[in-house]
A and B are shown apart, each in its own frame.
Chain A
Amino acid sequence: MIQILNGLQLSMLLFLLSVGLSVVLGLMNFVNLAHGTLYMIGAYIGLSVARTTGSFWLALIAAPLGAGLIGSLLYQVLFRRMQSANPVKQVLLTFGLVYVGLDAVRLLWGNYSYSVAVPPVLAGQISVLGEPYPIYRLFIIAVGLVTMAALYLGLERTRLGAMVRAGVDDKETAACLGIDTDRVFFLVFGIGCFLAGLAGIVAAPVLSVYPGMDIAILIFTLIVVVVGGPGSLSGAVVGSLLIGMADTFGRVLLPEFASFLIYALMALVLLVRPQGLFAVR
């Protein structure tokens, strides 16, 4: 049971990270390798806010806002014109940003690893089937579920959501129907970065904050997006659950093959259903 909770917690983290990347990829056909960088920036912003104000909750608000802001800025200045460009150029551009981001955080925050303290209200353990389980991890699960619900409602019930769904389905027709695709993309991208920043601060108390944390999580995020199918919310949900659980149980049951397993799983999905499990196209 504990392991199920562990798996769930990891899945939620992956979900927060991958859903932004997935929708951006599906909607805008934009390969953003620097998505992890926004996760890292969010974590660092949260770290600084937590340190100066002493409040985790303020950091929880500041981090996603900061990441969303920086993401939107990057979009306006750099990414907007790159959308229809060759994916290869997108790779080079975002890769360059990864490099810049890595050194930027080192410049601003130094080389050492830092930690963010769990707020007192969420500290401590709760008894799950007789075993102590950290309350904070349950909080992570809660944040993930709430986000899932919010995104689902957003997609299904709001006009913006309808526009996003239309855009993912068929960008050209959507534009023909008078949807301001540019604005939609801008908002979607911003929300994606917002969520990445949220993932950063939420993960910080558990995983610590250090230069290079973006690369560490990038691969897993990409795997989730590919397995789930780009552009699909359900894909991101199922993908992150699958990968999170597979990784957790893989480590428990088949430790020698743990790292192998995730890649093998992805390779399998790609061979059997190349567009991803919940492909939109």
Chain B
Amino acid sequence: MKFMLGATATAVGLALLAAVPAIAAEPIKIGTVLSYSGVYAAIGEEITNAMELAFAEVGGAIDGRPLQVIRGDSETKPNVALAKATELVKSENVDILVGPVASPEAMAMRDFVTASKVPLIIPNAGANVVTGAKCSPYVIRLSFSNDQFVRPMGKWLFDHGVKTAFLLAPDYAAGHELMDGFKAPYTKVGGKIVGEEYTPFGQTKDFGPYLAKVKAAKPDAVFVFYAGGEAINFIKQAADFKLQDTVKLTGAGWTVSPLFLPAQGQAAVGFIGSLNYVPTLDNPENKKFQSEYQAKYHRVASEFGAQGYEAGRMIVEALKQTKGATKDKTALTKALQGVSFNGPRGPLKIDPATNNVIQNMYVFQAKSAADGKGVDLVVLDTIKDVKDEPNGCKMNF
């Protein structure tokens, strides 16, 4: 009897002790709305893993409040993204949302996060309009805008001997935006577009017909954008048809992202493109990031990982500013907006006029690695502090 009393008392005591920290330190909830299934699953995972790495660096907590990541699989469908965002905000009461991978989902969530006054940090989706005509004080983009990504290439390629170009991209919004973003500055300095083709989005497996067309047009260079399986297929098939014998291979850097290089192999060598991040960037932040990421995940982190990691850093920096307070969402959002730090990509800050990031763009060329098997993306030129030009964004809280 005495023993039972004692045991019960101890149990109750322990339970109370266990309960105490739980009441004291309410977690800071970060909800992700990313693709965890389907074709973009690899990107969604990499962004999340890298972001969690940034949280781990500060011990997983700010001011005693643990950082809790709650995942939402958007299945790359805008409707599902909105449903998950709604659930995360209204049922789980997340303080910050991070996502999505694809732009249509960002468009779907935009009105909701603005009305709910919860900050949405975009770690990828690049449609111009998101920080343009449809910008919102609560939508902060840390990744890039399509325009910002390719604009430097227009002048750079022309200055480096590419007087005529053939454009090739998938037939959807991003494909068109990227080509338009290149075309304008390129033709302005005197470049000539000798051909422009858009391939059926997500369906094109065989680029043979298009490669033949490109060769027939005899441009100085072909400027392309592809991602995912299409990027792998395109690069490999371009090598199969010996495209680079007569035509320079250039384009938006994702086409030879470290995500795809292992599959593309030596076929990618020679590609000249622009990226906001290459794994070989020589700065202390990047060296630390890559070693941490590779130690944990046994893969070289791509630009998606860098964007995810920096989203984590951004959240950490903003929370340090508010001293861990998240109740006042407007103050939190302003803190996020005001963040400025050095990430693996280089110096980063948010443009108050558009809520889009101001970052360096790196013109690189894919070169064969020392061991003859791998491919390195070697920086040729750094274009500093690229930001969006006036694009119709009008926003206030």
Q: Give A contacts to B, CB under 8 Å.
A: 2-3, 5-6, 9-10, 103, 106, 110-115, 117, 125, 131-134, 136-137, 205-208, 210-213, 216-217, 248-249, 251-252, 255, 258-259
- Cβ of B232 and Cβ of A113 under 8 Å apart? yes
Residue of A nearest to B232 (CB): A208
Of B45, B205, B237, most buried by chain A (CB within 10 Å of CB) is B205
- Cβ of B197 and Cβ of A248 under 8 Å apart? no
- Cβ of A10 and Cβ of B212 under 8 Å apart? no
Q: What is the bound-complex CA distance between A3 and B154, given in angstroms?
A: 31
Given the known inter-chain contacts A113-B228, A132-B242, A216-B203, please indicate yes or no for A2 contacting B198, CB distance below 8 A: no
Q: Is the interface of A mostly helix, strand, loop or mixed?
A: helix
- Cβ of A210 and Cβ of B229 under 8 Å apart? yes
* A-contact 0/1 string along B189-225, CB 8 Å cutoff: 0000000011110110110111011010000000000
Given the known inter-chain contacts A208-B233, A213-B229, A259-B200, please indicate yes or no for A114 contacting B263, CB distance below 8 A: yes
Given the known inter-chain contacts A6-B208, A248-B208, please indicate yes or no for A125 contacting B242, CB distance below 8 A: yes
Residue in contact with B212 in the complex, picked from A3, A9, A205, CB distance below 8 Å:
A3
The 4 closest A-B pairs by CB, nearest first: A6-B208, A115-B263, A134-B240, A111-B42
Q: Let me know if B144 is at the binding interface, CB within 8 A.
A: no
Q: How far is the CB of B245 from chain A (nearest CB, A)?
A: 8
20 contacts between A and B (CB under 8 A): A112-B259, A115-B232, A115-B236, A115-B262, A115-B264, A134-B241, A136-B240, A137-B240, A205-B236, A206-B205, A206-B236, A206-B240, A207-B233, A208-B229, A208-B233, A212-B38, A213-B229, A216-B203, A217-B205, A251-B199
Q: What is the bound-complex CA distance between A217 and B205, given in angstroms?
A: 9
- Which residues on the A side are within 8 Å of B205 (C-beta)? 206-207, 216-217
- Cβ of B263 and Cβ of A113 under 8 Å apart? yes
For chain B residues 291-306, which have a beta carbon within 8 Å of chain A? none
- Which residues on the B side are within 8 Å of A106 (C-beta)? 37, 41
- Interchain Cβ contacts within 8 Å, total number: 100
Residue of A nearest to B39 (CB): A212
- Which residues on the B side are within 8 Å of A112 (C-beta)? 42, 259, 262-263
- Cβ of B233 and Cβ of A252 under 8 Å apart? no
Given the known inter-chain contacts A6-B206, A6-B208, A216-B205, please indicate yes or no for A206 contacting B229, CB distance below 8 A: no
* A-contact 0/1 string along B226-254, CB 8 Å cutoff: 00110011001100111001000000000
Total interface residues on B, CB under 8 Å, equals 36
Q: Let me know if B271 is at the binding interface, CB within 8 A.
A: no
Q: How far is the CB of A48 from chain B (nearest CB, A)?
A: 15
Q: What is the bound-complex CA distance between A24 and B197, given in angstroms?
A: 39
Q: Let me know if B265 is at the binding interface, CB within 8 A.
A: yes
Q: Let me know if B166 is at the binding interface, CB within 8 A.
A: no
Residue of A nearest to B41 (CB): A111
Q: What is the bound-complex CA distance between A5 and B213, given in angstroms?
A: 14
For chain B residues 141-175, which have a beta carbon within 8 Å of chain A? none
- Which residues on the B side are within 8 Å of A210 (C-beta)? 39, 228-229
- Cβ of B264 and Cβ of A252 under 8 Å apart? no
Q: What is the bound-complex CA distance between A5 and B211, given in angstroms?
A: 13
Of B42, B209, B213, B232, most buried by chain A (CB within 10 Å of CB) is B209
Q: What is the bound-complex CA distance between A77 and B185, given in angstroms?
A: 62
- Cβ of B41 and Cβ of A115 under 8 Å apart? no
Q: How far is the CB of A101 from chain B (nearest CB, A)?
A: 13
Q: What is the bound-complex CA distance between A159 and B42, given in angstroms?
A: 49
- Cβ of A3 and Cβ of B209 under 8 Å apart? yes
Residue of B nearest to A212 (CB): B39
- Which residues on the A side are within 8 Å of B364 (C-beta)? none
Residue of B nearest to A5 (CB): B208
- Which residues on the A side are within 8 Å of B212 (C-beta)? 2-3, 6, 131, 252
Q: What is the bound-complex CA distance between A111 and B259, given in angstroms?
A: 11
- Cβ of B209 and Cβ of A251 under 8 Å apart? yes
Q: What is the bound-complex CA distance between A113 and B231, given in angstroms?
A: 10
Q: What is the bound-complex CA distance between A213 and B232, given in angstroms?
A: 13
